[in-house]
Amino acid sequence: MDKLEAMRVFAQVVTHGGFSAAAREIGMSRSAVSKHVMDLEASLGVQLLHRTTRQTSTTDAGLAYFERCQAILAEIEEAELAISDAQQAPRGQLRINAPMSFGTLHLGSAIADFMQRYRDVQVQLVLNDRFVDPIAEGFDITIRIAELEDSSMIARRIMPARRVLCASPAYLRERGAPKTPDDLRRHDCLHYGNLTTGAQWKLTGAGRDHWVPVKAVLCANNGEVLRDAALRDLGIALLPTFIAGRELEEGRLAAVLAEYEPPPIGVYALYPPARYLSAKVRVFLDFLAARFAEDRYREIAG
């Protein structure tokens, strides 16, 4: 048995959630994939996977072994990259995860331009608004827009991201514009539901911080949903300008409490620590930093 090959196959089965999916990914028959895993289990003397007709999942031993396999295979890839042309010429698959709105509004076109320049790189872009574990899910680069917390990942700041409190002119005519943060308590608010602070907003102004509990008539983990609700006169939203900038410029949304600012956030590219950063990752990070430093992105950066 080629144990290294068996480890690669096993890792693909876990990553893709089953034998058939792994077989398609690596261009191998399902029976061959199954044999590699069974030989590996026989060699180790433990069961690595639970198998049913509907799904495949790891045992406790299998999960621990998968994590070690990922680390070992990454070390091997790094060693190969250190002595190969891939350090100079970006090539291969680049897996990227990003928030839905930023991905559709800005990142998608940037990736298309990147791929026109680097024809030997194949990109797999996964957009969602849930919190992902980049290492466990096998992403080379994860885009996060947040107040970045401590992480085992390396983070490169791509640009700041300005946020504004805003509502439709019709809503403000009917309900009145808030004059102080405390006035928000009496307004309908549209709340980004992934924030760990709960249904409250932090604003800084008049020499101090203000923590304001808000009446969230809508919670969502996607900013475009909140923007559309604000456009329909449903309340006040706290939105990044990369989502609401055009509507603010056109007057379909109006900024409120401009003298009070929410905590600064940024657009970050996260990637696993490595002694040898692969060319595809290094070049893409440089491309993103240059792209979003252009004048056309100055407004969304703040």
103-141 pLDDT tens trace: 998 999 999 999 999 999 999 999 988 888 887 788 899
Residues 64 and 180 in one domain: no
Check whether 198 has a pLDDT greater than 70.
Answer: no
| Segment among 19-28, 222-231, 233-242 with least mean pLDDT | 19-28
Which CATH number covers residue 14? Answer: 1.10.10.10
- The pLDDT value recorded for residue 196 is 44
82-92 pLDDT tens trace: 666 555 778 88
- The pLDDT value recorded for residue 77 is 77
Residues 151 and 275 in one domain: yes
Q: How far apart are CA 119 and CA 165, in angstroms?
A: 41
* % of the chain beyond a pLDDT of 90: 49
Check whether 300 has a pLDDT greater than 70.
Answer: no
The CB-side HSE value for 142 (13 A sphere, CA atoms) comes to 24
* % of the chain beyond a pLDDT of 70: 90
Residues 48 and 96 in one domain: no
150-175 pLDDT tens trace: 566 788 988 888 899 999 999 999 99
- Laid out side by side, the sheet with 236-240 consists of 215-220, 188-192, 236-240, 163-167, 254-256
Q: Where do the H-state alpha helices sit in the chain? A: 3-16, 19-26, 30-44, 60-82, 100-102, 108-117, 169-175, 223-231, 241-250, 279-291, 298-301
Residue type, 47: Q
Range of the domain at 133: 85-161+265-301
Residues 237 and 285 in one domain: no
Residues 138 and 184 in one domain: no
Concatenated DSSP letters for 228-252? HHHHTT--EEEEEHHHHHHHHHHTS
- The pLDDT value recorded for residue 199 is 80
| Segment among 70-79, 119-128, 153-162, 277-286 with least mean pLDDT | 70-79
| Segment among 101-115, 133-147, 172-186, 226-240 with least mean pLDDT | 133-147
Q: What is the mean pLDDT of residues 4-8?
A: 91
- The pLDDT value recorded for residue 160 is 86
Residues 181 and 234 in one domain: yes
Q: Between helices 30-44 and 3-16, what is the axis angle to 10°? A: 110
Number of domains observed in the structure of the chain: 3
Cβ–Cβ under 8 Å, residues 17 and 49: no
Domain final residue, candidates 82, 106, 136: 82
Domain final residue, candidates 82, 108, 128: 82
Residues 57 and 99 in one domain: no
Q: What is the mean pLDDT of the chain?
A: 87
SS3 assignment, position 207: coil
Residues 171 and 152 in one domain: no
254-265 pLDDT tens trace: 999 999 999 888
Domain final residue, candidates 36, 51, 82: 82
